Structure 1
Amino acid sequence: MTIRSRDQDACPGALSVHRAADGALARVRLPGGMLSGAQLTALAQAAIRFGAPDLELTSRGNVQIRGITDTDAVAVADAVAEAGLLPSPTHERVRNVVASPLSGRSGGLADVRPLVVALDAAIQREPALAESSGRFWFGLDDGRGDISGLGTDVGVHAVDREHAALLLAGRDTGVRLRLDVAVRTLIDVAVRFVRVRGTAWRVDELPTTQDLLTLPPTAEPGATWPPVLRPPVGWIPQDDGRVTLGAAVPLGVLPARTAEFVGAIESPVVVTPWRSLAICDLDEGVADVALRVLAPMGLVFDENSRWLDVSACTGTPGCERSAADVRADAAAAVDDPAGGHRHFVGCERCCGSPPVGEVLIAGPDGYRARGRPS
């Protein structure tokens, strides 16, 4: 268990940027990964005007803009606010909500999209949560098991259309509740975490979680879900007859110009926790044209692509801690037939590492697998 100082929690936001080796980094929280085409376009244009001409997709369904100069940090924040993506300056770093990306459109037991909206509003209304950790995150799984395996601090996992299991650190507590009271329960747990957390950033850093619960278990506790590593990719029929295009984004780096093309479709977009996009609610003709335009621009619609088996942290030159250009090395490894998922990192912090798969750590003598002696 790792316990850190509260003062070390410098998790960046749109207002509190991180000073990286390549300039300031702004992170825009997108509860449920949801944004409109116009909002994606606004972020792309902010990156082009004020930072590096790419958008970074994160493993929490957020978006980062890198390479911002000190003089342009305020301009980026203004652009984010004008796009409607900065509704609460006091709570902007704690609006960490991930949800099943296809919920309410294709499969799943319940539509958790309304819960995303309600939970985000409730987070902003609760003054105590402004003091929460910038790494604390909520999970809303519609029953398909894609989010529950991520190990979010507190979450719900739908067991039918009206009921859900309450999870802490990705583990079933045995508590069952109606989905219509889920938001209130999640907020209550999060507030209790703030009260007892001390220097902990995450629920799994607490010595006990008993103080976080007030509802008694009515089912056997302890169940977990296997982590999902691959995003939904390709032509995905929706339950209403329309189409979602699942687009993997190699190494989570979305060129801003490509993002502008996605935004121009003027359809809802979801940034997934697997650093991909879901472009939703498309008529078949629009989906066909979009696929033909976006695939040559580098977005991946093939579920068998080897790009889905590699990932990487930022590496050099963006991160001063990194010992290598890990993105370039990960890209070079795409055609390597080695099995399983591989995540390339530039230092022992292993940023962005998935919960399973091989993590390769760069050093002066090349890469070694995490867990092996250096």
Structure 2
Amino acid sequence: MLAAMPPTSPTPVNRDEAPVRERGDACPGALRLHAADDGRLARLRLPAGVLTYHQAEVLESAAERLGDGHLDITSRGNIQLRGLGESCGGQLARVLYDAGLLPSEAHERIRNIVASPLAGLDSRGSGRDQDQGRSSSHSVQLWSKELDELLCASATATALSGRFLFALDDGRGDVAALGADVTLLAQRYGNPTLHIQTNPSGWRVSATDAARAAFVTAETFLTVAAAGGSGAWRVRELPAGHGLEAAVTTRLAEAGIAAEREPAADREPGPTAGPPAPGAVRSPDGTVALSVQAPLGRLSAAQWRILRTAAAKAAATADAGGAGTTPYGTLRVTPWRGVIVPGLAPDTADDLLDRLRTAGLVTAPDSPWHGVSACTGRPGCAKALSDVRADAARALRPPGRQLPSPPPPGLPVHWSGCARRCGHPQGTSWVDVVATGEGTYDVSVDGDARTTAAGRRAGQAAGQELADAVAAARTTTPTMTR
């Protein structure tokens, strides 16, 4: 049975207009802080989104002592701290290093690895570990650990852009749809497949070689990009005729990695899965994983504390039951601005889910915040034209309404303070709400059905107009794939 190709990148690529990068990217990191209007910003890369409950406690403390008391989740499952002081960089670095969150200072910005958040925690996917009768080498969590170690040991890899992305998919097709530069896709039958962004074909490699194959592919990209002189940050930015596919085939063979090339014409359609739905997930081992989302990707330290305390209880329960090798005692941060807490006892999961709902987190698909995301907007970003977070909240609860609007079915919606559209969804169509001025927005889907709606300048009528425009767009049938 031929392996499935992950969904293509949601962003159309014009090879004739590949950019020429004359400098490195300016993505912030945990050490390279960004000067925002609301203070310094630190972005911490979390391979596969995994944090121990102790590391989660360290981030909570850092947010309260050094930042604005909040933690932001990015569209790549990373964590941002905002409102940091001018001189706290060294103190933050020491705290992160002591918690094991900075294994290599030279590599901290390139550790961009997303993985299927529910891998091993439900009945889907193809890599369900030893308790499902499969080799643990199929686990995307183990691939992430090995890949991260390879990256951090490589001097060459430090040249990767902070935007270069790896996706490790357990076979369900969720993170494979995010348009990563390098994707590993587990297969229910046979070996996993390796793919590069925009490539119509891929390679079948063994599970034991999978992480190393992804690493070799990334280093090969650097060689090809340097030879072409484009300074490309990502695979899709390489100019036409770049030759990356042939170079990867050669480099895999030189590295002793057996890789069977797969013609695109022989491939069956790949699996697709959306983000983890909010709520309880029954795991094969009898425990429960809780899936929650942060409204607009932002958590208070108090909300975060409930999550990491739950992870600590899961660890204690696992230890008492002699399950010390399980992944419990961790949080999994997702690329859809959510958090998974695995390993909970069934008799405590419902009460905890209710606490999280009361604390303001999204715990069910019928929440008005489900599927709604936003960039920072004003006052945190100087480029933003409006306070998008406040305007998004008003659109969910227009003036005169006592309760939040029920969520319309259909597309997710992303609010952007400017045309850069920072943090917009990947791998899917979405409602694109872009500020054009203070409280005014263009609302569109895939570039079509464009309208202009006022947000708050004219009071109740304008707020209702914007809310109605967004709600209507969410039910639009997309005409193209982004």
Which stretch of structure 1 is more off in the superposition, 179-188 or 74-83?
A: 74-83
| 3-state secondary structure, aligned to 1:331 | helix
Conserved 8 A contact 1:176-1:219 = no
**Is residue 74–residue 337 contact of structure 2 (8 Å, CA) maintained in 1?**
yes
| Sequence identity (%) | 39
Q: Is the 8 A contact 1:168 1:203 kept in 2?
A: yes
> Which of the pair has more CA radius of gyration?
2
Counterpart for residue 218 of structure 1: 262
Q: How does 1:81-120 map to 2 (within 5 A)?
A: 81-106=97-122, 107-110=124-127, 111-120=139-148
Inter-partner Cα distance in structure 2 for 1:354 and 1:263: 26
Q: Within 5 Å, give how 1:94-173 maps onto structure 2.
A: 94-106=110-122, 107-110=124-127, 111-160=139-188, 163-169=191-197, 171=199, 173=201
CA contact (8 A) 2:198 2:236 kept: no
* Contact 1:170–1:225, Cα closer than 8 Å, also in 2: no
Please tell me whether the aligned partners of residues 118 and 276 of structure 2 are also in contact (alpha carbons under 8 angstroms): no
Q: Secondary structure at the match of 1:119?
A: helix
Question: Structure 1 length as normaliser, TM-score?
Answer: 0.94
Contact 2:159-2:222 at 8 Å conserved across structures: yes
* More displaced stretch, 197-206 vs 162-171: 162-171
CA contact (8 A) 2:121 2:281 kept: no
**TM-fit CA distance, 1:161:** 6.2
Q: What are the within-5 Å matches in structure 2 for residues 349-368 of structure 1? A: 349-355=420-426, 356-364=429-437, 366-368=440-442
* Secondary structure of the structure 2 residue equivalent to 1:269: strand
Residues 18 and 238 of structure 2 are in contact (CA less than 8 Å); yes or no, is this contact kept in structure 1? Answer: no
- Cα separation, 2, equivalents of 1:8 and 1:349: 18
Distance 1:300 1:19, change over 3 A: same
The alpha carbon displacement at 1:225 in A equals 5.5
Which residue of structure 1 lines up, in the alignment, with residue 309 of structure 2? Answer: 264
User: Is contact 1:38–1:264 with CA below 8 Å preserved after alignment?
Assistant: no
1:201 — aligned with what? 233
Aligned letter for 2:437? P
Aligned to 1:181: 209
Cα distance in 2 between the residues matched to 1:319 and 1:189: 35
Call closer, same or farther: CA 1:229–1:347 in 2, change over 3 Å.
Answer: farther
Partner of 2:135: none
Q: 2:368 aligns with which of 306, 321, 326?
A: 306
SS class of match (2:355): helix
Give the one of 395, 413, 431 matched to 1:342. 413
2: CA distance, partners of 1:240 / 1:20: 45
**AA of the residue aligned to 2:46:** L
Q: Work out the CA distance in 2 between the residues paired with 1:224 and 1:27.
A: 35
CA distance 1:269–1:312, change in 2 (3 Å): same
Change (3 A) 1:122 1:255: same
RMSD of aligned C-alpha atoms? 2.1
* CA displacement at 1:163 relative to structure 2: 1.1
1:148–1:170 Cα contact (<8 Å) kept: no
C-alpha separation between the residues in 2 aligned to 1:95 and 1:212?
A: 23
Deviation at 1:373, TM superposition (A): 9.2
Per the alignment, residue 478 of structure 2 pairs with: none
User: Contact conserved, 1:94 with 1:136, CA < 8 A, in 2?
Assistant: yes
Tell me if 1:237 matches 2:282.
Answer: yes
8 Å contact kept, 1:81–1:87: yes
Rounded to whole Å, the distance in 2 between the matches of 1:353 and 1:312 is: 8
Deviates more, 1:171-180 or 1:210-219: 210-219
Asked if the contact 2:125–2:188 (Cα under 8 Å) also holds between the matched residues in 1, the reply is: no
Query: Alignment partner for residue 28 of structure 1, among 44, 48, 55?
Result: 44
1:70 aligned counterpart, secondary structure: coil
CA drift at 1:104: 1.7
Per-residue Cα deviation, 1:297-342 (whole angstroms, up to 9, x for no partner): 1111112223122111110111100001111112222327555221
Correspondence for 1:324:
386
Check whether the contact 1:149–1:170 (CA below 8 A) recurs between aligned residues.
Answer: no
Contact 1:154 1:170 in 2 (8 A): no
Gaps of 5+ in 2: 1-16, 128-138, 250-258, 313-328, 397-404, 453-482
Which amino acid is the alignment partner of residue 210 of structure 1? E
Number of the residue aligned with 1:56: 72
Structure 1 pair 174–289 and aligned structure 2 pair: CA distance change class (3 A): same
Gaps of 5+ in 1: none
Number of corresponding residues:
374
Distance 1:19 1:312, change over 3 A: same
Deviations 1:342-370 (A, max 9, x none): 11101111111113211111012711135
